[in-house]
Amino acid sequence: MTAISLKTVSILLLSACLTLLLACKTAKVEKPLRIALSSGSDNYVNWIHRGDSLVEVVDLHAMQIDSAIKLLASCDAILFTGGEDVVPAYYGKVSDSARCETNPARDSLEFALIKESFRLKIPIFGVCRGQQILNVALGGTLIIDIPTDHPGNVAHRCEDYLKCFHSISAVASSQLKNVAKADTGMVTTNHHQAVEKPAAGLRVAAWSSDSIAEAIEWETPSEKPFLMAVQWHPERMDTLSPFSMPLMKAFLKAASAYQEQKELAK
């Protein structure tokens, strides 16, 4: 009886080990998401990590174009961040160049990254300048200077940018409203330019009370990669705001779906 029992136990142990090895081999290994920033800062990194603390964030700003494009292929989404004005010559307003503070090298890098992002069909989010350069890259135009060219009752840029807020209204049928689950809200702002004419294929998803385009998205988003861009700075806002963390959560969800699709394609 003892010999039979030991043999039975050995067979059972072997079977259990084989089952465990097979399970380990076939189990899905969860990889941290990798999000690219066109130009990084702690505010953007912290905003991403409040949405998912395990995300690996890579900053492409100081890289050569070829190297940045190569690294982008290993990422699951890209966030185009705030910063200098886009060179006006790119949207037919070269005569207004003196009214802008530009960074041509950054423009060149980001236009190349936008083109590659669309080729890869990678999820895209734009903030402030990020919204503006996405619109220009697709053929839209910008207001050169809001106080001069589009004066109104809303302060879009203040001496203390941390205390500069105004209300926005989400368009009823927009993806933005669906994500935020809110019609209106207060946002923090710091810019003197904005989308003038949305590029073909894009639509305005939110407005300020003085008729400045505060968000853009695909006009028909079905079967297109995730794209959301806002003029305000959600990375500086309270995460309880419907126009901050819900947007990041939607972006990360799109990044996770993109990562899974890439893994399945291998």
Question: Which CATH number fits the domain that encloses residue 48?
Answer: 3.40.50.880
Q: Active-site residue among 196, 214, 217, 235?
A: 235
Task: Give the pLDDT confidence score for residue 161 in this predicted structure.
Answer: 87
d(CA 196, CA 233): 19
Q: Is residue 58 part of a domain?
A: yes
Q: Active-site residue among 156, 166, 191, 233?
A: 233
Q: Is residue 4 part of a domain?
A: no
Q: Is residue 37 part of a domain?
A: yes
Q: Which residues contact 152 (CB under 8 A, 6 or more apart)?
A: 146, 208, 209, 210, 211, 212
Q: Active-site residue among 128, 191, 196, 214?
A: 128
Query: Would residue 128 show up in a list of annotated catalytic residues for this protein?
Result: yes
Task: Give the pLDDT confidence score for residue 162 in this predicted structure.
Answer: 87
d(CA 71, CA 52): 21
**pLDDT (tens digit, 0 to 9) for every residue of the chain, 266 residues total?**
455 565 665 565 656 555 555 544 444 557 999 999 999 899 999 999 999 999 999 999 999 999 999 999 999 999 999 999 999 999 999 999 999 999 999 999 999 999 999 999 999 999 999 999 999 999 999 999 999 999 999 999 999 988 999 999 999 999 999 999 999 999 999 999 999 999 999 999 999 999 999 999 999 999 899 999 999 999 999 989 999 999 999 999 999 999 999 999 88
Q: Is residue 241 part of a domain?
A: yes
Task: Give the pLDDT confidence score for residue 1 in this predicted structure.
Answer: 45
Q: Is residue 167 part of a domain?
A: yes
Task: Give the pLDDT confidence score for residue 14 in this predicted structure.
Answer: 59
Q: Is residue 247 part of a domain?
A: yes
Query: Would residue 156 show up in a list of annotated catalytic residues for this protein?
Result: no
Range 106-126 burial, b when 16+ CB lie within 10 A, else e:
bbebbbbbbebbeebebbbbb
Can you read off the two tokens belonging to residue 192? Answer: 């003197």
Instruction: State how many domains the chain has.
Output: 1
In the chain, which residue ranges form alpha helices assigned H by DSSP? 2-26, 42-51, 65-72, 104-120, 129-137, 146-149, 175-180, 245-265
Q: In degrees rounded to 5, what are phi and psi of residue 202?
A: -110, 160
Q: Is residue 76 part of a domain?
A: yes
Report which of 113, 144, 108 is spatially closest to residue 126, judged by C-alpha positions.
Answer: 113
Q: In degrees rounded to 5, what are phi and psi of residue 77?
A: -175, 165
> What pTM does this model have?
0.88
Q: Which domain holds residue 131?
A: 32-265
Task: Give the pLDDT confidence score for residue 196 in this predicted structure.
Answer: 98
Task: Give the pLDDT confidence score for residue 266 in this predicted structure.
Answer: 81
Q: Is residue 14 part of a domain?
A: no
